[in-house]
Amino acid sequence: MKLLDGISLAKKIRDDLKKRVALLKGRKPGIAFLLIGEHPASHTYVTMKKKRCEEVGIFSKVLPLPVSISEKELIQTIERLNQEETIDGILVQQPLPSHLSTAHVVESIDPNKDVDGFHPLNMGKLLLGEEGGFVPCTPLGILKLLEEAKIELQGKHVVIVGRSNIVGKPLAALLVQKKAHRNATVTLAHSYTKDLASLCRSGDILVAAMGKPLLIKKEMVKPHAVVIDVGINKMETQKGLQIVGDVDFAQVSEVASYITPVPGGVGPMTIAMLLSNTLASYQKIS
């Protein structure tokens, strides 16, 4: 079993971005983070994203907004950022409080500043295989991890468990693309999928992205499969409160050929891809 080390690959990507940002003349790339309410995990993620921006020389600002903000006020805030020349990327941390429509909010972001790649225009381009849009950060980070380890996707069966708009759906679109080193056969499984265990076991590559701690057990994994764990769950264990993935790492690492650890696998790659998308946005705008 080999580990797919997201910490070291993400660092390599950030070091490269830092060099490229240092060569820029004039203003630096900029990103705004909108953080609505008190969701503790969202606060942690945005704090980490801001720190990584600073390290590579990307200007960032966090707009903490009250949980009571109306959709109209939030959209007006986004529209102001759409016009701000120092801002290349706008990220609205999800999940949003339930009185806000994620669709309405995401659609108000200028697609050219949508570094998350969640706007329907960017999602549409991804689905159609058109170049020039932003690709969501977690799917892109997973692709980079597979590329770095020279894991071929062509003709392979990729089983993705979890159909979220943030991971499952865009990852399926990315890996199925008719393109060299993609061309995978993708199955998107979810909470209504029948006989999940045997479906998972048919995957040459298994991606767990449903947010259920330790759901994927050894018997659900094909021997020598590649296992990608997108889960970040807090769980009380014998060692106290720990971060665990959607994969039971202790068991599954006995059968997998490659596996991502949690933490230290997909998470750091997501942030590295956000920085990369922000620099790409800057280069398109300026």
Instruction: Name the residues annotated as catalytic.
Output: 49, 93, 116
In this chain, which residue has its C-beta nearest to ligand GUN? 94
Nearest to 218 by CA among 258, 254, 178: 254
Residue 150: count other Cβ atoms within 10 Å of its Cβ.
7
| Binding residue for ligand GUN, selected from 92, 161, 228, 247, defined by CB under 6 A | 92
Q: What are phi and psi of 91, to 5 degrees?
A: -125, 120
Nearest to 285, CA basis, from 88, 83, 110, 109? 88
Residue in 77, 112, 270, 277 binding ligand GUN, rule: CB under 6 A = 270
Report the residue number, 224 or 234, with the smaller CB distance to ligand GUN: 234
Distance in Å, CB of 171 to ligand GUN, minimum = 12
Scanning residues 15 to 54, which ones bind ligand GUN (CB under 6 A)?
Answer: none
Distances (CA, A) of 135 to 28, 145, 212, 239, 261: 22, 15, 25, 37, 23
Tell me how far apart the alpha carbons of residues 22 and 44 are, in angstroms, rounded to a whole number: 27
To ligand GUN, the closest distance from the beta carbon of 152 in angstroms equals 26
Cβ nearer to ligand GUN, comparing 116 with 248? 116
Least distance in angstroms from the C-beta of 92 to ligand GUN: 6
Residues 129-158 that bind ligand GUN (CB under 6 A): 137-138
Residue given tokens 């109306």 in the structure block: 70
Residue 116 binding ligand GUN, by CB under 6 A: yes
From the list 10, 36, 56, 93, which residue makes contact with ligand GUN (rule: CB under 6 A)?
93
Spatial distance between the Cα atoms of 268 and 250, rounded to a whole number of angstroms: 21
Binding site for ligand GUN (CB under 6 A): 91-94, 116, 137-138, 166, 270
